[in-house]
Amino acid sequence: MTTRYSHSMPFGAETRDDGTTRFRLWAPSQPEIRLVLDGGKDDAQPMSKQADGWFELVTDKAPAGTRYQFQLPDGLAVPDPASRFQPEDVNGPSLVVDPKSYEWRNTDWRGRPWEETILYELHVGCFTDEGTYDGVRRKLDHLADLGVTAIEFLPLADFAGRRGWGYDGVLPYAPDDAYGSPDALKRLIDEAHGRNLMVFLDVVYNHFGPEGNYLSAYAKSFFTERHHTPWGAAINFDGKDARPVRDYFINNSLYWLNEYRFDGLRFDAVHAIIDDSKPHVLTELAETVRRKVEEATPGRHVHLVLENEANQAHRLVRDDDRLPPHYTAQWNDDFHNTAHALVTGERAGYYEDFCDESHEKLARSLMDGFVYQGDPSPHQDGKIRGEPSAHLLPQAFVSFLQNHDQVGNRAMGERLSALIPAERLKAITAVFLLTPQIPMLFMGEEWASDRPFNFFTDFHGELADAVREGRRKEFAKFAEFSDPEARKKIPDPNEASTFNGSKLDWDAVSEPSHAEWLSWYKTLIVTRRTRIVPLLSKIGADSTAEVRNDTVIVAHWPLGDSGQLTLVANLGDAPVDGVDAPDGELIFETAPSVAADLKAGRIGAWAVACHASGTGTA
């Protein structure tokens, strides 16, 4: 059986069953708009002006494969802001795409419950030498064998140039042509589903990139000077003419979920989405997505995940059935920052907020999720950050030790395996993979890749200089960015070698040291899948955690009516006496001696043990 999917949008180019294509553009700042087909500017067709700034044209002269642009009265030809594909990059014409051209094979796929999620974040361009969707597809067996259950792509929205992280996208509906065609992306997702792997996409709704965004030329009210973000004037979610803007992004979420069958979305830096209206656009988006997805495919699992520096716990609540009416979870930077400061001793930049009493802060993160729950941030000059989160389930948090930000925003792009001894890395990895929070790995982490992951772009001239200077200001509290001599050693983001040097080295996986790490991760993931995941439906928000003898964290997660999951971790350089062995069955230890030592009231340095008792341990 095969099925074809599409998402019907109130804008853009929509192919119809009668052989026509409807073009629709919101351009309230312009008196007229013309449609240019296949570069024929001299034959541009006037579009019909409709109410509220809309222009429309239906024609039988633009089948799938036709290149088109919208022409403004001054002659400027711009791409479609809802373009489904840009074969000549962001400044070129858009392509009419028939979304039903791809025949899906795995049509019974309905996703997986959130509790089963083990995320794996990757950059399509750096995951393989090919740097394409097909390249990722050919590595799906590796990911399935590793045991992760969900792949998460960095943003795919079309950005200027041939290389970039994706956060400077300007055409949110067009998967970047540097990685392949829309059908190649669909085939990748389809085959991932065939291996029981979910696929997530990172989307950016807080700003547009600095090159290739033409919205202001024909829709000035898409942005507002009433609010400002680090990128300038904010997107207009709450002022006059905000309705088409809100619909643009809500439809984008539905488009990726319905037309490409993504299983989840990760929303970038939502603290920079400013909306003083009610309901907040994030609330409306989540409620609309959940309603429409359920109407279209009852029982389908779709997961919505936030990145939110503000630690807004109210966006992560569960209903009486333990289901999220809005957002499923949030990336827990507090866990990462505390764990990183603890194992590395680093104090610069935002680690200033986590380096002191780091064992206590890590215990708080294991117990409550957020470390900052309305507390003043020293790094932000005493700014109050966060909301109380102890009432949230552990599954409302995505924990990680590495990701694109935390590796790539280091001056030299070093991975954690290059910064700390193996015993420390093994211990902290066991902690984050065996706790009830949802874990996420970063590509290559599973074999302790030696390759860095650097920040890279493909800008030129003054824009390239501005990007370099902007990063220096953003990370000025890190010595490598503030010291002139140290800055000389930082790889140039715009050099192709910086991008190429960030690609994974798959030949290294079979080398003994890397193969050992891969085996370690697989063992932990199997333990999580078989022993931790079955318990998650029983775990509530009444967990406890404490620090004993300065370095030993003991965390308990009760399992409903009886029993509990217990983690004991000595995250210190010296053995500790006087630590009692927890009740229950040992389900993992970082070394064969840990359980025996605990029975004798002792735990070694950088040692971790996990026990389960009562319900769900059979």
- Give the active site residues: 268, 307
Residue type, 407: V
Among 384, 387, 390, 350, residue whose Cα is nearest residue 369: 390
**CA gap 443, 447 in Å, rounded:** 9
Question: Residue 323 is encoded by which pair of tokens?
Answer: 């289901």
In whole angstroms, what is the distance from residue 93 CA to residue 524 CA? 48
Q: Closest by alpha carbon to 185, among 22, 5, 21?
A: 5
Asked if residues 129 and 503 have their Cβ atoms less than 8 Å apart, the reply is yes
d(CA 342, CA 351): 10
Residue 583 carries which DSSP code?
Answer: S
Residue that has been written with the tokens 């109410």 in this structure? 51
First to last CA, the chain: 39
Whole-angstrom distance, CA of residue 369 vs CA of residue 313: 10
Residue 499: which H helix or E strand, with range? Answer: helix 496-500
Report which DSSP code applies to 491.
Answer: P
Identify whether the C-beta of residue 589 lies closer than 8 Å to the C-beta of residue 609.
yes
Phi and psi at residue 535, in whole multiples of 5°?
A: -90, -15
Give backbone dihedrals phi and psi of 111, rounded to 5 degrees, phi first: 85, -170
Structure tokens at 389: 């989160």
Q: Rg of the chain's alpha carbons, rounded to an integer? A: 25
- Write the DSSP assignment of 216-259 as a string of letters: HHH-GGGEEEEEEETTEEEE-SSSTTHHHHHHHHHHHHHHHHHT
Cα(55)–Cα(39) distance, rounded to whole angstroms?
20
Q: Using CA atoms, how far apart are residues 6 and 19, in angstroms rounded to an integer?
A: 16
- DSSP 8-state assignment for residue 155: P
Q: Would strands 150-153 and 552-558 be described as parallel, antiparallel, or unpaired?
A: unpaired
Helix (H) or strand (E) holding 513: helix 512-527
List CB contacts of 95: < 8 A, sequence separation 6 or more. Answer: 65, 66, 67, 68, 83, 84, 85, 86, 87
Beta pairing, strands 150-153 & 119-122: parallel
Nearest Cα residue to 388 out of 541, 502, 595, 590: 541
DSSP state of 590: S
CA quadruple 115, 286, 400, 393: dihedral sign: negative
Torsions phi, psi for 8 (to 5 deg): -75, 125
Show the DSSP H helices in 383-478 as ranges.
404-408, 422-434, 461-474
Question: Which residues neighbour 485 within 8 Å (Cβ) at sequence distance 6 or greater?
Answer: none
Kindly provide the residue ranges of all beta strands, DSSP E only, lying in 105-169, ordered along the sequence: 119-122, 150-153, 157-158
The DSSP bridge partners found for residue 202 are: 266
Tokens read off for 288: 């609309």
Distance CA 433, CA 339 (A): 13
